[in-house]
Structure 1
Amino acid sequence: MNEPLSISKSIYRYNQDQFVETKDDIVIEFPLTVYINDEEFATMVCSPRNLDEMVIGFLASEGVIRFKKEIKDMKIDADRGFAYVELHSKEIKNQQYFSKRFIGSCCGKSRQFYFQNDVRTAKTSMVKTTITSQQCIDLMKKMQEDSLVFKNTGGVHNAALCTPEDLIVSRSDIGRHNALDKLYGHSLLNGISVKDKILVFSGRISSEILTKAAKIGVGVVLSKSAPTDLAIKLAEDLNITAVGFIRGGSFNIYSHPERIILDKKERYL
């Protein structure tokens, strides 16, 4: 799936007391409505690529499915903006926990534990994965270098699923949650175990993002931006190592520092 994620548009740029006509790359915003067993479930605003991964990851993070095999059939009508999912079960799991809602592409009100399915699907990490301080910096650099869409537009969030040594898969999307759902969906579609993997993320670690990471099942979250206080509390409770402000050669560890190893001394902090 190589659908374009941006378009070129003529604009006027103001620079040094004059207007100059030029071209600019603009990210594409795409609405996708998901139907489950012929009933409307949710509408997401996203980037129009890897939609199958996003839908499967979204359903898994919402607790509708746990495994790919629970889906009997899935069809995506990209031209009209619809995804049709048929489950083997005729009833959606824990349907009483859900309500029809609009899921936007930008930062909104935190959903952390406002819905009971978040409590059910957010996992306490039991992994013992460790990563060196230099590997934290290297993974962030690799993810940023890998995102040509962000370099061209500045309008997407980036996320990557990694080993301590390298990126496994990276995804970009105008929606923070969508980028993570695409990673989750990719792992489910390809049978990739995520428990020993590391999540690298370009945006702020909010309680929503931390909850999403817990639903995916990773034990380490690396970000180039800041965390919120609630995200740190959740990371402490869910045994997740949260690292923020990875910029240049420095970063901050906000929870469970035992997974971050110093390169030279090779000992736990």
Structure 2
Amino acid sequence: MTRLPDGAPRLDAVDEVPVWLEVNGEPAVTWMCTPEQLPELVVGWCFGEGYIDSKADLLSMRPCAKEPGFWVTVPEERYQTVEGQERRRVLASGCGAVTTILGSLSSVPRRTTRPALPDLAQTRALFKELFARGERYQETGGIHAAALTDGHTLLAHAEDIGRHNAVDKVLGARILGGDRPDDLILLVTGRISGELAFKAARARIAVVATPSVPSTIAVEIAQAAGMVLIGRAVSGQPQVWQGPAA
């Protein structure tokens, strides 16, 4: 336990705040999240949900001056396409109620090329770098992290109390930089859930790796998408799942 300047013990806790989003004037989502990299969170979530496909689709993004929240405007045709799809409220594992479009495995985006298995020793080294960057993790341990990498360098990194939020933040950082996450490797520090795997498939991610394990639904989604999942990625015996490309 750390101590304050007067010698009193400090109770370690992770910041958590509600942040709301309206898209084209309508309430879209409220996150319980760590209050950092919020524009990246907004953009990454909009990308993952299909409201935008690139930075050019983000017509405007305005933060609220009174409380944590954002107003976003996207092309009306994209907004209507997303809103016209059947959406279900899902109590996601460990992350609360989220709006998602899961449907059947036939709706999972399928890769046209089979991704190469990354160098597993280099993947372990990248996870070591990811953990080293984790300031909040080192302070409290009660945080998730995510990163995008080309297999050699960490291209984006984020921490959040929610692992899905951390993923949205790195996707958003990529989109705000004018790039896309296609064919990159996604590193996550927590379990790979079904929703996280589906989010990665929609983003055209090639590989998702974790020191933990995937869920059974995540494995099914990865196999349907032709995406690679790597569990126990920092161990001496990583577990690899891969499905065929379309």
Q: Give the TM-score, by structure 1 length.
A: 0.78
Match of 1:58 in 2: 45
Q: CA deviation at 1:25?
A: 2.8
- Which moved further from structure 2: 73-82 or 201-210? 73-82
Match of 2:238 in 1: 251
Note if contact 2:91-2:98 (Cα within 8 Å) is conserved in structure 1: no
- Which moved further from structure 2: 207-216 or 21-30? 21-30
Q: CA deviation at 1:241?
A: 0.8
Q: Does 1:175 align with 2:175?
A: no
Pairing 1:1-269 to 2, within 5 Å after superposition: 22-77=9-64, 79-89=66-76, 91-97=79-85, 106-108=94-96, 114=102, 122-125=108-111, 126=113, 128-256=115-243
Percentage of matched positions with identical amino acids:
28
Q: Compute the RMSD of aligned alpha carbons.
A: 3.1
Q: Give the TM-score, by structure 2 length.
A: 0.84
Structure number, greater radius of gyration: 1
Q: CA deviation at 1:109?
A: 6.9
Counterparts in 2 of 1:227 and 1:105: CA distance versus 1, 3 Å: closer
Q: 1:45-80 deviations in whole A, cap 9, x for unaligned?
A: 111111111111111111122122122211112641
Note if contact 1:222-1:242 (Cα within 8 Å) is conserved in structure 2: yes
C-alpha distance in 2, partners of 1:103/1:32? 19
Amino acid at match of 2:198: T
> Going by fraction, where is strand more abundant, 1 or 2?
1
- Structure 1: gaps spanning 5 or more residues: 1-7, 11-19, 258-269
C-alpha distance in 2, partners of 1:236/1:215? 14
How many residue pairs match? The answer is 239
Note if contact 1:43-1:101 (Cα within 8 Å) is conserved in structure 2: no
Amino acid at match of 2:197: L
Q: 1:167-209 deviations in whole A, cap 9, x for unaligned?
A: 1111011111111111111111112232231111101011111
- Structure 2: gaps spanning 5 or more residues: none
- Which moved further from structure 2: 158-167 or 20-29? 20-29
C-alpha distance in 1, partners of 2:91/2:165? 10
- Which moved further from structure 2: 201-210 or 190-199? 190-199
